[in-house]
Amino acid sequence: MTSSEYYRRQADTLLTLALTATDPELSARYRTLAAEYEMLAANVGEDSVPCGSVTGNPSSAADASEAD
């Protein structure tokens, strides 16, 4: 089970990578992933969520939960 703290640490790491990346497209991708991890952290709250890979397509996981 993944905690909100885990997602926040991942977001911080991705933001650091975005700042150090020399490729603008890669930097933008890191920033997008960081924002997605921040959203996951905000959604965890007190309940834990199953651990999954954000690199696949995290927005599709959010879309699937909205369809319920």
pLDDT tens by residue, 5-64: 999 999 999 999 999 999 999 999 999 999 999 999 999 864 554 555 555 554 444 444
Cα separation, 53 vs 49, whole angstroms: 12
The predicted model scores a pTM of 0.64
Asked whether 14 and 31 are in contact (CB, 8 A), the reply is yes
